[in-house]
């Protein structure tokens, strides 16, 4: 994350001082209690009204009622209630009117309606007050905790970085967000995510290096292929990384370090472009197709190489001369950023190259992958699939092609990784020997097999 | 000492102004109360008018004057209620006017008090320096 932080950081406590927000919330609470009292009074009126209605309804049922008449403050005497249908109703302001039972009930009902509307208005008022109170309380708490509001301007994030949204980014972001109130836009988010992605790759690269030293048979990608790959890789950050890693480690170099950090940082383009010296790198036993180096699980997607994947595996440049295959040998190892990062070993080779044979091989193997050891050596790297999961490379180049196509991302590797079939045959034979050396889980350079 | 007497004068003035201000505030509060009462009465009278309209022409209407319930004419009652309503609305308007005047007076008094306070403070600061 090299981007400078722009924007302002405002402490919530400065905008809403905690004491004031506490006072405000208290005030609001008092207002709420007052309206609650009014509400209770109104509810009492409403209940009285209903009782009265019931009584007025019952009275006309008899011609006269025998009752105990209140007399003064503390006395009653027996009496009779007559004219049971005549009521003197208070209209208001000292005005009374003679009404029948039914008319009285109508009057009472109308009064009840006005009471109801009053109650509704008070309830709405109370709701607003409650919302206000909750807001004040939350701000008081937040200000006390020292939350900070961050405002940053939106930046135009390059497409590559944008595409680099990985899980890591999200994780990192979420942790960030948890601490602060981020008021940034989505662009900021993507930017951060891409940065985190890069960082993660680096970490993974470091891990991978420390991990098994399985070698990847990276299909030797012809330099041209590498270039192609790199081109294709341009599309994505991964690609860049791969290229870089590829480039950076010219084979031996790559083997050592590249995978680790360089991978992440380097772009695949570089790697590829630098050429297939990687072929020379080859530590692998894999038979080096001249063109292909068996791709291990790492799939370089048009230059994309999940640094993670690469890191995990030390790319050993086999002696393939990937260059031989220029078309097919280009290994596009695609590393699925998110997946691969998580599983360093799994790198998918993107069959960007027309040389599908290689790709397909890769694809097959790669897709499954998880443990790739890759050397970031550019070109001629052999990626050996660490995972046993990787399907055996299909010797058939056609298959490879298919896979490749399917796997290839938008990037099209010009210099197909696919090896020539004839080479494949050779490789296969050659590979037979090497595979034993490799981890059992790793298939022998598939590319070789797939090479036409 | 001249400064101290000036300070004392200022303080007295400040007190006077403060008293005026509090008086004004009391008046404003009273005004509010009366307004409230009138508003309630107005509401009640309007309700009575509504009910009276619903009554039949020959219905009995009584008015409570003190402890006496006096029978009244429908027409008379209607007229009385209407007059009362008009009276109350007029009163309310008047009260609104007075309230506004009081508000203005209060604001001006507040400003004067503030100015006095500032002067006092500056004087005292000057005294402290010297």
DSSP string, A222-256: -HHHHHHHHHHHHTSHHHHHHHHHHHHS-THHIII
- Whether ipTM exceeds 0.85: no
Please determine, for residue A69, whether its predicted confidence score (pLDDT) is greater than 90. Answer: yes
Rounded-to-integer distance, Cα A346 and Cα A214, Å: 13
Q: Which residues of A touch B44 (CB under 8 A)?
A: 92-93
Is residue B54 very low, low, confident or very high in pLDDT (cuts 50, 70, 90)? confident
Dist. CA A407–CA A416, nearest whole Å: 13
Interval B4-9 mean pLDDT: 80
Instruction: Count other Cβ atoms within 10 Å, centred on residue A371.
Output: 31
- Max Cα-Cα span within chain B: 89
* pTM of model > 0.80: no
Burial class (CB in 10 A: 0-12, 13-18, 19+), A225: buried
- For residue A309, is pLDDT > 50? no
Q: What pLDDT was estimated at residue B2? A: 61
Per residue in A103-117, is it b (16+ CB within 10 Å) or e — as a string?
bbbebbeebbeebee
Query: A92 vs B52: CB contact, 8 Å cut-off?
Result: no
Whether the CB of A88 is below 8 Å from some CB of chain B: the reply is: yes
Query: pLDDT, tens digit, for every residue of A131-166?
Result: 888 888 887 777 777 777 777 777 766 554 544 444
How far is CA B114 from each of CA B11, B13, B14, B25, rounded to the nearest angstrom? Answer: 12, 11, 9, 16
Question: To the nearest whole number, what is the mean pLDDT of chain A?
Answer: 59
Region A266-290: what's the mean pLDDT? 41
Q: How far is B93 from chain A (nearest CA, A)?
A: 21
How far separated are the first and last CA of chain A, in Å rounded?
44
Mean pLDDT for the stretch of residues A217-239: 43
CB within 8 Å of chain B, chain A residues 92-111: 92-99, 106-107, 110
Instruction: Determine which of B51, B57, B86 to mutate to test the interface with A (most A C-beta atoms within 10 Å).
Output: B51
Phi, psi of A440 (to 5 degrees): -60, -35
DSSP letter for each residue of A56-89: HHHGGGSS-EEEEEE-SSS-EEEEEE--TTEEEE
pLDDT tens string A394-425: 344 444 444 444 444 444 445 444 444 444 44
Which residue among B48, B65, B69 places its CB closest to the CB of A91?
B48
Distance CA A373, CA A218 (A): 9
Q: Who among B51, B64, B77 is closest to A107 (CB)?
A: B51
CA separation for the pair A133, A126 (Å, rounded): 10
Cα separation of the two ends of chain B: 12
**Interface membership of B21 toward A (CB under 8 Å):** no
CB contacts under 8 A, A 107-146 vs B, are 107, 110, 114
- The SS3 call for residue A306 is coil
pLDDT at B51: 87
Residues A288, A318: contact at Cβ < 8 Å? yes
pLDDT digits (tens, 9 = 90+) for A17-46: 777 777 888 888 899 999 999 999 999 999
Tell me the C-alpha distance between A447 and A358, whole Å: 4
What residue of B is the nearest CA neighbor of A92?
A: B48
């Amino acid at each position: 994350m090299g981007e400078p932080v722009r924007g302002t950081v405002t402490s919530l406590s400065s905008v809403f001082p905690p004491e004031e927000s506490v006072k405000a919330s208290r005030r609001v609470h008092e207002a709420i209690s007052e309206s609650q009292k009014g509400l209770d009074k109104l509810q009492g009126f409403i209940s009285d009204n209903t009782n009265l209605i019931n009584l007025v309804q019952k009275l006309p049922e008899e011609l006269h009622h025998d009752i105990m008449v209140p007399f003064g403050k503390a006395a009653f005497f027996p009496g009779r209630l007559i004219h049971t249908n005549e009521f003197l109703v208070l209209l208001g302001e000292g005005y009374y009117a003679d009404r029948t039972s039914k008319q009285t009930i109508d009057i009472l009902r109308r009064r009840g309606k006005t009471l109801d509307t009053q109650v509704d208005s008070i309830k709405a008022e109370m709701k607003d007050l409650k919302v206000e109170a909750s807001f004040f309380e939350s701000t008081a708490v937040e200000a006390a905790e020292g939350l900070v509001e961050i405002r940053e301007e939106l930046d135009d994030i390059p497409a590559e970085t944008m595409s680099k949204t990985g899980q890591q980014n999200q994780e990192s972001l979420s942790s960030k967000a948890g601490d602060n109130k981020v008021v940034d836009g989505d662009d900021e988010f993507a930017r951060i995510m891409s940065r985190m992605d890069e960082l993660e790759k680096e970490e993974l690269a470091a891990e991978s290096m420390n991990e098994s030293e399985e070698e990847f048979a990276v299909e030797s990608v012809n330099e041209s292929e590498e270039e192609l790959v790199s081109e294709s890789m341009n599309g994505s950050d991964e690609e860049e990384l791969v290229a870089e890693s590829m480039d950076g480690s010219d084979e031996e170099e790559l083997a050592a370090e590249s995978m680790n950090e360089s991978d992440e940082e380097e772009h695949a383009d570089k790697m590829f472009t630098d050429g297939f010296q990687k072929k020379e790198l080859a530590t692998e036993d894999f038979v080096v197709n001249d063109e292909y180096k068996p791709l291990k699980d790492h799939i370089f997607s048009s230059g994309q190489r999940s640094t993670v994947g690469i890191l995990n595996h030390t790319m050993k440049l086999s002696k393939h001369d990937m260059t031989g295959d220029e078309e097919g040998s280009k290994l596009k190892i695609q590393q699925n950023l998110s997946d691969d990062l998580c599983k360093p070993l799994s790198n998918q080779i993107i069959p960007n190259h027309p040389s599908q044979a290689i790709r397909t091989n890769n694809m097959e193997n790669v897709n499954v992958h998880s443990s790739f050891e890759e050397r970031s050596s550019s070109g001629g790297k052999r990626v050996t699939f660490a995972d046993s999961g990787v399907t055996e490379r299909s010797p058939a180049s056609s298959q490879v092609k298919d896979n490749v196509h399917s796997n290839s991302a938008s990037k099209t590797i010009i210099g197909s990784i696919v090896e020539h079939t004839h080479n494949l045959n050779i490789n296969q034979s050659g590979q037979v020997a090497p595979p034993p050396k490799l981890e059992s889980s790793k298939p022998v350079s598939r590319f070789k097999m797939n090479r036409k | 000492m001249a400064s101290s007497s000036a300070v004392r004068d200022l303080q007295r003035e400040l007190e006077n102004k403060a008293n005026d201000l509090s008086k004004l505030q009391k008046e404003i509060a009273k005004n509010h109360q009366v307004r409230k009462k009138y508003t309630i009465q107005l509401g009640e009278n309007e309700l009575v008018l509504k009910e009276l309209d619903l009554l039949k022409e020959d219905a009995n209407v009584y008015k409570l004057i003190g402890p006496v319930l006096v029978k009244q004419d429908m027409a008379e009652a209607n007229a009385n209620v209407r007059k009362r309503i008009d009276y109350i609305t007029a009163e309310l308007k008047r009260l609104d006017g007075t309230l506004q005047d009081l508000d203005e007076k209060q604001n001006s008094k507040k400003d004067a008090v503030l100015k006095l306070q500032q002067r006092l403070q500056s004087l005292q600061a000057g005294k402290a320096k010297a």
